[in-house]
């Protein structure tokens, strides 16, 4: 007897009530979804992780962190800011052990996992190793780097670092920072000073309670002349007593929207003296006699600033995966309303076309950000390798600088639009969970609060998008002048072919291919970049200088950057899928095409304006988007399972792997909120209820209800 036959026999012995309960059981519902898998889930996991070995390493790390008592996370929503900050510092002990015993690449993978578990700790630890140590690596000479590493910067012994760039009056405008570093030749020292309130260092992670040293960004002044913003190491506290050093004033900036495990603070300096050698002099050098030697190529100093942006593209994909795992698993077991033919069995949320439309394009977008993030990381690492080994007179320096320009502009646009996309994904996932999405325990509210900062730190998104748009205009003008552009904007070398081009698909069904979608994006992007460039040139003809002209066409720059970024995301996704074979290619192609058609639909105005698609073709694209939403929906649970996030990582009862969401949800609420004596009945509620009010005696058991005989009495 087959398994299905045995199941049918068992069903014959069930009462109608038992049969209904079995049909709507969340655990059974989840099993039904996993049975639909048309591909090997572990194979997709290995592809996303970069190989079977990488997946096994990641799984080992997830287990180690879950079993580490310092990383208890189930009660994270119910502890105070101070408790959270203490826990954050406790975790340093565990991480230092791994840091000292793992390779750099392995430790980076560990921190990537931790970013999904506790983004506040990930940031706090990253302030020292990513920002403070990163500032040393990017700006210190070899001798200076050795000095600070020997003093304990790398081993986190004798010092804890912070990164003091942002001021209360300046964020994205780094050249406009007001803190000064004035060279005193007589003493061979720099004087670090906060000249105004707006020069107060602000949002400095680790400053409030834990940092002993800061990498301070300040205006270099030598002999009365300003040389721009440079980096200085400034001691803040005595490492043994933690007393503030003379001239240093520090405070706590208090409660934030999220990531409260980080002790963000403010810093003011009053004529604080540091040795000349505490200015990091890999690029700009100041001699004992006050001679300033600046680098021949200022652009070489920018490379290290891009690491954070590239990391946030990757993080946007990872956090989107976590949010979608919660929302899609919940939608697979949550039932709402039954149609007339369902015998009382309510419909899964995931079976409603509108819910598919709500979540499936976002799932496709998460995959697009994953593939693009992987490609951006490889591009960044390649660029930095060449940058580190390049000298001003190297024959391929021009090519390296072009690569730097492209990586700078592309990472700026992608950082902006990927973090915006991720934040929107989290909120859409929260809303798709209905009322339960509002509970802190479901994880999405806190996830939104923690992630929101990514849209403004490391460069405000709008400013970064405008930088990308400026690069596109510059690239257009270079292309018109005959220069061969780097691959990311290479389509601008084909302006004569792309401007005015229409989709030449023989029939409407032929639209749905990666080649047509890529060409469509190139045509649209070529047109919007051209229009932005022409608007810029008109401003120049009207007498505006270059900076004012760019500001005047800022809306066109932003629009061009938006469409360029979406086209770039799709192309990277399609290129990634093209390398895949077998069953995986089929399912990933559906996801890829869904992303392509969805983004065209979202920007249909541009495709119609430049007449690449006709209105009829856009209508077909809408219909195919619906079709692909259903196709991807059928594989939705296997797809989110391929993200390979354990229940500990997901940390949400609605996203539990077994689907038993209500049991886990109820258990967590009871565990975190034990019943006991009423906390304020005697003090607040009882006095209110028992206060004397004239005419307030309600002893009548009828409670004001009219007599049943009242109608008879009127007859």
Burial of 360 (0-12, 13-18, 19+ CB in 10 A): buried
In Å, what is the CA distance from 181 to each residue of 165, 217, 275, 348, 424? 13, 9, 11, 63, 41
Structure tokens at 427: 């909120």
Rounded to whole angstroms, how far apart are CA atoms 381 and 387?
10
DSSP, residue by residue, 258-323:
S-TTS--EEEEESSEEEEGGGB--SSSEE-TT--EE--S-GGGGSGGGHHHHHHHHHHHHHHHHHH
SS3 218: strand
Q: Return the closest-CA partner of residue 211 out of 246, 182, 179, 244.
A: 244
SS3 180: strand
Asked if residues 638 and 583 have their Cβ atoms less than 8 Å apart, the reply is no
Kindly report the length of the chain: 715
**Closest to 409 (Cα-Cα) out of 466, 455, 370:** 466
d(CA 47, CA 41): 10
b/e per residue, 602-640, with b = 16+ CB within 10 A? ebbebbeebebbeeebbebbeebbeebbebbbbbbbbbb
CA atoms within 13 A on the CB side of 286: 25
Rounded (5°) CA angle 701-707-713: 155
Asked if 584 contacts 47 with a C-beta cutoff of 8 angstroms, the reply is yes
Alpha-carbon Rg for the chain, nearest whole angstrom, is 30
CB atoms within 10 A of CB 333: 26
Write the DSSP symbol of residue 675: -
Q: Are β-strands 225-235 and 213-222 bridged in parallel, bridged antiparallel, or unpaired?
A: antiparallel
Residue with tokens 């026999």: 9
3-state DSSP assignment of residue 212: coil
Distance CA 182, CA 273 (A): 9
Structure tokens at 459: 């460069």
Helix H, strand E, coil C: the string for 379-438 is: HHHHHHHHHHHCCCCCCCHHHHHHHHHHHHHHHHHHHHHHHHHHHHHHHHHHHHCHHHHH
Question: What's the angle, vertex CA 384, arms to CA 378 and CA 387, rounded to 5?
Answer: 140
Contact present, 470 and 438 (Cβ < 8 Å): no
Look at residues 376, 595, 387, 554 and name the one whose alpha carbon lies nearest to residue 468: 554
SS3 of 118-146 = CHHHHHHHHHHHHHHHHHHHHHCCHHHHH
- Which of 167, 427, 458, 617 is the catalytic position? 458
The Cα–Cα gap between 579 and 591 comes to 15
Spatial distance between the Cα atoms of 596 and 577, rounded to a whole number of angstroms:
13
For residue 293, list its beta bridge partners.
Answer: 285
Please, what's the largest Cα pairwise distance for the chain?
A: 114
Nearest alpha carbon to residue 270 among 369, 395, 179, 382: 179
Q: Is 478 exposed, middle or buried (0-12, 13-18, 19+ CB in 10 A)?
A: middle
Whether 458 is catalytic is yes
- Positions marked catalytic: 458
């Amino acid at each position: 007897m087959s398994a299905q036959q045995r199941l049918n026999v068992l069903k014959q012995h069930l009462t109608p009530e038992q049969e209904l309960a079995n049909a709507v059981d969340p655990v059974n519902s989840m099993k039904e979804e996993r049975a639909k898998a048309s591909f090997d889930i572990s194979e997709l996991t290995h592809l996303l992780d970069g190989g079977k070995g990488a997946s096994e390493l990641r799984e080992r790390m997830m287990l180690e962190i879950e079993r580490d008592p310092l990383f208890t996370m189930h009660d994270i929503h119910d502890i105070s800011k101070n408790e959270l900050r203490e826990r954050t510092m406790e975790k340093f002990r565990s991480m230092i052990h791994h840091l000292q015993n793992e390779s750099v690449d392995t430790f980076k993978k560990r921190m990537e996992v931790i970013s999904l578990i506790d983004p506040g700790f990930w940031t706090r630890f990253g302030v020292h190793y990513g920002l403070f140590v990163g500032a040393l690596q990017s700006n210190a000479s070899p001798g200076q780097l050795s000095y600070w590493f020997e003093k304990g910067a790398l081993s986190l012994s004798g010092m804890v670092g912070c990164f003091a760039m942002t001021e209360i009056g300046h964020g994205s405008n780094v050249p406009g920072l007001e803190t000064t570093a004035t060279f005193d030749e007589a003493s061979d020292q720099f004087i670090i000073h906060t000249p105004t309130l707006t020069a107060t260092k602000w949002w400095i992670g680790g400053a409030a309670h834990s940092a002993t040293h800061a990498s301070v960004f300040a205006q270099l002044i030598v002999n009365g002349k300003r040389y721009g913003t440079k980096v200085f190491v400034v001691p803040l506290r005595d490492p043994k007593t933690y007393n503030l050093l003379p001239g240093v004033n520090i405070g706590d900036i208090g409660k934030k929207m999220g990531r409260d495990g980080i002790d963000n603070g403010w810093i003011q300096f009053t004529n604080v003296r540091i040795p000349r050698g505490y200015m990091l002099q890999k690029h700009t050098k100041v001699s004992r006699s006050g001679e300033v030697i600046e680098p021949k190529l200022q652009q070489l100093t920018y490379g290290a600033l891009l690491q954070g942006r590239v990391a946030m593209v990757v993080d946007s994909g990872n956090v989107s995966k976590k949010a979608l795992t919660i929302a899609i698993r919940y939608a697979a077991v949550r039932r709402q309303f039954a149609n007339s033919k369902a015998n009382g069995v309510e419909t899964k949320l995931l079976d409603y076309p509108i819910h598919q439309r709500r979540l499936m394009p976002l799932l496709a977008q998460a995959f697009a950000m994953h593939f693009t993030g992987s490609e951006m990381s490889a591009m960044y690492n390649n660029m930095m390798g060449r940058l580190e080994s390049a000298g001003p007179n190297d024959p391929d320096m021009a090519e390296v600088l072009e690569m730097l320009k492209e990586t700078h502009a592309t990472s700026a646009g992608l950082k902006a639009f990927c973090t915006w996309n991720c934040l929107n994904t989290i909120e859409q996932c929260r809303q798709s969970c209905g009322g339960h999405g509002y509970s802190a325990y479901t994880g999405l509210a806190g996830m939104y609060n923690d992630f929101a900062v990514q849209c403004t730190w490391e460069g405000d998104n709008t400013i970064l998008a405008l930088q990308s748009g400026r690069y596109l205009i510059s690239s257009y003008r270079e292309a018109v002048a005959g220069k061969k552009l780097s691959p990311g904007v290479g389509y601008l070398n084909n302006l004569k072919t792309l401007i005015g081009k229409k989709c030449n698909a023989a029939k409407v069904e032929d639209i749905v291919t990666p080649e047509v979608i890529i060409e469509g994006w190139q045509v649209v992007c070529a047109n919007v970049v051209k229009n932005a460039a022409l608007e810029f040139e008109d401003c120049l003809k009207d007498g505006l200088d270059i900076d004012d002209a760019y500001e005047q066409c800022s809306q066109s720059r932003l629009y061009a950057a938006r469409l360029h970024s979406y086209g770039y995301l799709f192309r990277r996704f399609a290129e990634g899928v093209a390398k895949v074979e077998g069953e995986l290619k089929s399912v990933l192609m559906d996801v890829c095409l869904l992303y392509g058609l969805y983004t065209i639909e979202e920007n249909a105005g541009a495709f119609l304006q430049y007449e690449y698609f006709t209105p009829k073709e856009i209508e077909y694209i809408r219909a195919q988007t619906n079709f692909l939403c259903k196709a991807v929906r059928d594989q939705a649970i296997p797809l989110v399972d391929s993200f390979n996030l354990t229940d500990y990582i997901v940390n949400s009862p609605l996203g539990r792997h077994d689907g038993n969401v209500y049991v886990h949800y109820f258990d967590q609420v009871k565990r975190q909120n034990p019943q006991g004596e009423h906390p304020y009945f005697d003090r607040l509620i009882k006095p209110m209820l028992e206060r004397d009010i004239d005419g307030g005696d309600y002893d009548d058991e009828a409670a004001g209800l009219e007599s049943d005989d009242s109608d008879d009495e009127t007859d």
